[in-house]
Structure 1
Amino acid sequence: MGGVDGNYKAVIAMVVLQCITAGVTLFSKVALSQGMSPLVFVVYRQSFATIIMAPLAFFSKWRNPHKTSLGLRSFSLILLTSIIGVTANNNTYFEGLNLSSSTIATAMLNLIPAITFIMAAVVGLEKINPRSFRSISKIIGTIICISGGICMALVKGPALFKNTKLVQFPSKKSISMTMSFGEGSNLPLGCLLLFINCCCNSFWIVMQVPISEACPDHLYTTFWMFFLSSIQSSICTFLIDRNPKAWPLHSVLELGSCLFAAIGEAISFFIQVWCTCKTGPVFSVMFTPLSTVMATIIAILFTDQILYVGSLAGAFAVILGLYLVLWGKAKDLKEHKRYNDEHSDGANCRGDLEKPLLL
């Protein structure tokens, strides 16, 4: 992706990804509110996602057999990433979501860009030049994005709209679907698990660099991560939750939520890997605050959540921050277009990822 047109594709892909993330978060919260175990939910999600990815992965292997060979190094990287970046990622997220709310869960995701930047800087994938205006623009934009996303969840102020709910979801548990800050049976533990989830998520993103270099077929590597995660999640669930009554799906809503979450994960993982391969790990997570915007809008329309002035101000901050980041990235793409044309052979994402995003 050497030109600005390719950057537009990455922007569109990441916006779609954040819409999917917001939808999965809200529908998953509904399923968990029915009394479904988060551990069991993850097992079903990973199993369905594996089934969805299997035909696509093996068709990709059949079409490009030279790109899909897995050696010991590549399999070891995939195994490590599946343990931390998929299994631990999903279990901490959905358990944290169960103990808190969808708004808090999506707000905590705004920490991913900062954590990813720190990890990428530690391993040498990102560098900062304080004398570069492009670099300053992206740093400021990142800070504004993160601050805006957190502001949406934590800052209230006067209410703008009330009683806008369109649909009421039934609940077997006495958990209000208001998506309010105080929702959840153990908010501190939920926030801690969501923070661990952000670290696992950032680890997964950074690990796509060596994985894509070792095996550039994204569909094939994603399938293996889902497959290994299904086994790992099943083992964890059998060890932790030994209640056999936790496994049956009691409603179409629970089944639909699992399927939707699986489809969303399959699409999201592929988009994330592709964008990380094309633009680097930090740029691909700059859009994370958008999921907070999407989740808040959907929650206002379909639950009892109220829109406050603080939420609206945070949404504008997110948009402004994203604009600054995209402006800086566009300048980078113009600066490196000639370098990409001369050195990128398209075989893998190494050429794009070796160039610092924050110059």
Structure 2
Amino acid sequence: MGGAGEETVAWRYFSRDVVPFAAMFAVECTTVGSNTLYKAATLRGLSFYVFVFYSYVVSTLLLLPLSFMFGRSRRLPSAKSPLFFKISLLGLLGFTSQIVGCKGIEYSSPTLASAISNLTPAFTFTLAVIFRMEQILLRSSATQAKIIGAILSISGALVVVLYKGPKVLAAASFIPSSPIIFLQQNLTSFESSWIIGGLLLASQYFLLSVWYILQTRVMEVYPEEITVVFFYNLFATLISAPVCLLAESNLTSWVLKPDISLAAIIYSGVFVSLFSALTHTWGLHLKGPVYISLFRPLSIAIAVAMGAIFLGDALHLGSVIGSVILCFGFYTVIWGKAREDATKSVAGSEHAPLLLTHIVENEVLSLR
């Protein structure tokens, strides 16, 4: 009996803690990979409107058969229901954040995008408090840690955006003698507007935090991950079609060739719009919005490595200082969250005997 109980506890720990952690880490790797590929493709002339629209088309076409094969143990929501409106709003938020984010990367770099993404836990925590999804007890050390961590995250992001600073690590030592040098030469001549890019990226991650909150509300009412993500991508495709076609009027830009642009679109459609959206939706249902947002800082190290190897990005002092502050804020929020969860577990175990006694008493009374 003891062995069976230990196996149950171990499996519960694996399914509720290890698997979500590994899945969220994989999502961050795929997201940074998409940003890096997109940046490389834009240097070859890919329009970000074309990129966003085709990415949603790819993911919608892939999700269509999946939604029939693995979807619905529940009926589809009515077209006039509030739930259907919320899912369409998810599509609008997702499309807007994609456009803003792509433009932000175009002005700056994937490394800056990963640094600014550390604002997501602060944004999500603040919104979760506003919508009463997180408790605030000012005398609690856990709450104080989460508030301080949120403030530090915002401060670190401001440092990254407002102070670029001298180069700490030159990319030349990481660039092999290959055709990628072409990208380095183009990137060197490309003078990006660091502040505008940072502000656009900050806007993207605020919209993403709103997406997390709304998606959590949707999953509470309709816990069908594949169906919800399919309709989210479908609405995003329908919304993006007229906007992108009007914004990118050059028809030759819509003709894709088998090069890095096509690779970036397929990668984004499969691993970002589909895999990441499904994983985030499942994680939001299992763990909540604050937990999902806490994994954003992991993308910094991944982005720096990928940016240096594939894009010729240099690491600047402002990014280092700001990222250190951001990471410190991130781990402060994590500590506060862990302490809060531990307190709830202890409180639950203390009340368990009283709850069991109350249940037994009710059963006895019902037998009488």
Whether the aligned pair in 1 keeps the contact of 2:115 and 2:319 (CA below 8 Å) is no
Please, which of 42, 57, 60 is the counterpart of residue 32 of structure 1? Answer: 42
Q: What is the aligned partner in structure 2 of residue 276 from structure 1?
A: 284
The residue correspondences of 1:306-345 to structure 2 (distance < 5 A) are 306-307=314-315, 320-337=328-345
Query: Quick check: 2:119–2:157 contact (8 Å CA) kept in 1?
Result: no
SS of 2:135 mapped into structure 1: coil
Partners of 2:305 and 2:323 lie apart in 1 by 10
Partner of 1:169: 180
The answer for the alignment partner of 2:236 in structure 1 is 229
Residue type at the aligned position of 2:277: F
What's the TM-score, normalizing by structure 1? 0.80
Distance across 2 between alignment mates of 1:170 and 1:35: 17
* 1:245 equivalent in alignment to 2:252: yes
CA drift of 1:240 comes to 2.0
> Match of 2:118, SS?
helix
Q: Aligned to 1:126, what secondary structure does the other structure show?
A: coil
Q: 1:190 aligns to what? A: 197
CA shift in 2, pair 1:4/1:157, >3 Å: farther
- Residues 323/192 of structure 1: CA separation in 2 closer, same or farther (3 Å cut): closer
> What is the CA-CA distance between 1:267 and the residue it aligns to?
1.2
The 3-state SS of whatever aligns with 2:289 is coil
- In structure 1, give the amino acid aligned to 2:17: N
Superposed CA deviations along residues 313-346 of structure 1, whole A, max 9, x for unmatched, are 6666565555444443333333434888999xxx
Structure 1 unaligned spans of 5+: 344-359
Q: Report the Cα offset of residue 260 of structure 1.
A: 0.8
How far apart, in 2, do the equivalents of 1:91 and 1:16 lie? 23
Q: Which residue of 2 aligns with 1:352?
A: none
More helix by share: 2
The yes-or-no answer on 1:260 pairing with 2:267 is: yes
**Would you say 1:129 and 2:140 are equivalent positions?**
no
The answer as to 2:28 corresponding to 1:21 is no
Picking from 11, 20, 45, the partner of 2:21 is 11
Maintained 8 Å contact 1:33/1:98: no
Contact 1:290 1:318 in 2 (8 A): no
Partner of 1:159: 168
The counterpart of 1:293, out of the listed 273, 289, 301, is 301
Residue 75 of structure 1, aligned match among 77, 84, 90: 84
Gaps of 5+ in 2: 1-8, 353-368
Q: CA deviation at 1:196?
A: 2.7
- Separation in structure 1 between the aligned mates of residue 326 and residue 179 of structure 2, nearest angstrom: 29
Deviations 1:143-169 (A, max 9, x none): 555556666775656735651123553
Decide which structure has the larger Cα Rg and report it. 2
Partner of 1:206: 213
- Could you list the per-position Cα deviations for residues 201-229 of structure 1 after superposition, in whole angstroms to 9, with x for gaps in the alignment? 11111101221122101111001111111
Instruction: Check if 1:88 corresponds to 2:96.
Output: yes
Distance 2:312 2:239 in 1: 37
Q: Name which of structure 1's ranges 239-248 and 35-44 shifts more when overlaid on structure 2.
A: 239-248
Paired residues of 2:66 and 2:226 also in contact (CA < 8 A) = yes
Q: How much does 1:118 deviate?
A: 2.4
Q: Is the 8 A contact 2:120 2:208 kept in 1?
A: yes
Contact map agreement 1:35 1:172 (CA 8 A) in 2: no
CA-CA distance at 1:126 after TM superposition: 2.2
Question: What is the root-mean-square deviation in Å for CA atoms of aligned residues?
Answer: 3.3
Q: CA, structure 1 residues 333+258, in 2 after alignment: closer, same or farther (shift >3 Å)?
A: same
Q: Secondary structure at the match of 1:282?
A: helix
Residue 365 (structure 2) aligns with:
none
Deviation at 1:309, TM superposition (A): 6.4
1:56 offset after TM fit, Å?
A: 2.2
Cα separation, partners in 2 of 1:293 and 1:317, compared to 1, 3 Å? farther
Percent identical pairs in the alignment equals 25
Q: Under a length normalisation based on structure 2, what TM-score does the superposition of the two structures give?
A: 0.78
How many angstroms does 1:191 deviate by? Answer: 3.5
C-alpha distance in structure 2 between counterparts of 1:226 and 1:104, whole Å: 26
| CA offset digits 1:230-284 (Å, max 9, x no partner) | 1211111122222111101134211111111112211111121122222221221
The 8 Å contact of residues 122 and 153 in structure 2, kept in 1 or not, is answered as no
- Partners of 1:134 and 1:332 within 8 A in 2: yes
CA distance in 2, matches of 1:170, 1:206: 42
Q: Cα distance, 1:132 vs. partner? A: 1.4
- Change in 2 beyond 3 A, CA 1:174/1:320: closer
Q: CA deviation at 1:24?
A: 0.9
Pair 43,114 (structure 1): closer, same or farther in 2 beyond 3 Å: same
Q: SS of the counterpart of 1:69? A: coil
Aligned residues of 1:78 and 1:211 also touching (Cα < 8 A) = yes
- Opposite residue 82 of structure 1, the aligned amino acid is G
Alpha-carbon distance, 1:93 to partner: 1.2
Aligned in 2, Cα 1:31/1:213: closer, same or farther, shift over 3 Å? same
